[in-house]
Amino acid sequence: MTAVHDTLSDVRTDEVRALTDLAFTEIGVAFGGVHRTHRGISDRVFRCVGLVAGRASDPVKTVHDAITDGVYSAIRASTGTAATVGGAVADLPLAVPPSHTRTGATVIAAVTGLIGDDLADRRSVLADGGVTLRVDGAPVEFGNDAVAAAYPGATGKIIVFVHGLMETEHAFEIGEGPHYGPLFAELGHTPVHVRYNSGRHISVNGRGLAQRLDRLVQDWPVDVEQIILVGHSMGGLVVRSAVHHADQVGHGWVRHVTATASLGTPHLGAPLESLAHYGSAALLAFRETASFGTLLRRRSAGIRDLRGGSLVDADWENRDPDELGAAIAQEIPLLPGVDHYFASATITRSPRNPIGRLIGDGLVLRPSASGENRARRIGFDPANGVHLDRAHHFSLLANEDVAIALIDWVG
């Protein structure tokens, strides 16, 4: 028992220090961007003044630049020192690591969603673990006894919930409900909640999910009869990537999959990522806005994959992620022999409303959520979908109409 507490204490300390280090480091990076923007604007102003005053303004510019550079350098040095010290000694009197709590997990999820691929490359403890299964915020250990203890009363029917970008498994508990996990537990299914680093490539997370489910089925305390996969937003793409990978390599668990359901998933891509892709290039064209362009280009591989709904490694391997042009996304067919369902939403009363066509649910357009537009068709049966009017993207996580549809589809 003491060893377990020591391990949790070590993980808590590592996570708190990593968060402290990252916070001060990012503050320093932010001030660096403000510095470059400040200098870009001031240089343009002094050039304009110079057209009128000639070289008379040079001494003023020299003094201004020296003071400006000195102030920003001092700030970045201070934040760098704070990051180093905080990363070495910071701690909080928490009983469990931040990643085991709802608030801490939410903060880490937001960070990893933005720069999770970079954190994984740096082997940050914040991105450690990749894809995990979670119960009450804690990761599930594998092994027959450990899995049986994590899922007491396990049945042969498993329903897996996969969250979206910058979310955790707690996203399925928002609002007053109905919450799908407890609902399906009453129907005899065992809910399994997944957490993953949404900043990594979708194909990497899909492969990780496939491997975790393969091991879970091996260690499951009873014979598995049925697996249902439910993904919200990016989670729906991770599900499709996982079943595709499992089918390709011959994982046994995929033969138990009877249905998938994607809730507000950008199967055909997300317009906001396209806007960020082209907007970053435009901002980099001017020194005054280049810092904002650089900031946009720091967005994670997972976010970039949303531009075309990429599911496999070939979509991004050996490619320049900032290259302008159409998004590359191979057409990966839906898993055959399985029922596939989808839910979409628009913030307007009617999906045909011009605003609804333009904005969708605030993040995903209806054609993308249903997997069909003029250029592409994923293969969903239109009869296997449900649409919510006057609803936003996160309404799909806990909605009575969606709950009824899920029960009708797979319950």
Q: What secondary structure letter does DSSP report for 138?
A: E
Q: What is the pLDDT of residue 110?
A: 93
End-to-end CA distance of the chain: 40
Query: What pLDDT does residue 1 have?
Result: 39
Q: For position 4, what pLDDT does the model report?
A: 47
pLDDT for the residue 295: 78
pLDDT tens track for 82-104: 667 766 666 777 778 999 999 99
pLDDT for 243 beyond 80: yes
Question: What CATH fold (topology level) applies to the domain 126-269+329-410?
Answer: Rossmann fold (3.40.50)
191 class by beta-carbon count within 10 Å (0-12 exposed, 13-18 middle, 19+ buried): buried
* The pLDDT value given to residue 342: 98
Q: Among positive and negative, which fits the CA dihedral 172, 178, 184, 185?
A: positive
Question: What H or E segment, with its residue span, contains residue 230?
Answer: strand 226-232
State the pairing for strand pair 257-263/226-232. Answer: parallel
Residue given tokens 């299964």 in the structure block: 133
pTM: 0.88
- pLDDT for res 60: 65
pLDDT digits (tens, 9 = 90+) for 315-368: 999 888 888 877 778 999 999 999 999 999 999 998 889 999 999 999 999 999
**Among 335, 151, 133, CA closest to 215:** 133
Q: What is the pLDDT of residue 36?
A: 72
Q: pLDDT for 122-166, tens place per residue?
A: 899 998 778 999 999 999 999 999 999 999 999 999 999 999 999
∠ CA 359-364-365 to the nearest 5 degrees? 60
Given a cut of 90, whether residue 214 has pLDDT beyond it is yes
Q: Which residue has the higher pLDDT, 181 or 24?
A: 181
d(CA 245, CA 160): 17
- pLDDT at residue 293 in the model: 83
Do the Cβ atoms of 364 and 266 come closer than 8 Å? yes
Specify the pLDDT at position 278: 87
What is the C-alpha separation between 268 and 183, in angstroms, rounded? 30
Note the pLDDT of residue 177.
Answer: 80
Residue that wins the pLDDT comparison between 16 and 253: 253
Alpha-carbon torsion angle 23, 29, 35, 41, nearest 10: -110
Alpha-carbon span 23 to 401, nearest angstrom? 40
Asked if the model's pLDDT at residue 55 lies above 80, the reply is no
The 10s digit of each residue's pLDDT in 279-315 is 888 988 888 888 888 878 889 999 999 999 999 999 9
Task: Check pLDDT > 50 for residue 261.
Answer: yes
Average pLDDT, the chain: 88
The domain locations on the chain are 2-96, 126-269+329-410
| pLDDT for residue 64 is more than 60 | yes
Q: Band the pLDDT of 61: cuts 50, 70, 90.
A: low
Which one has a higher pLDDT value, 67 or 332? 332
Categorize the per-residue pLDDT at 5 as very low, low, confident or very high, splitting at 50, 70 and 90.
Answer: very low
pLDDT of residue 38: 65
Identify the residue whose tokens are 């914040």: 126
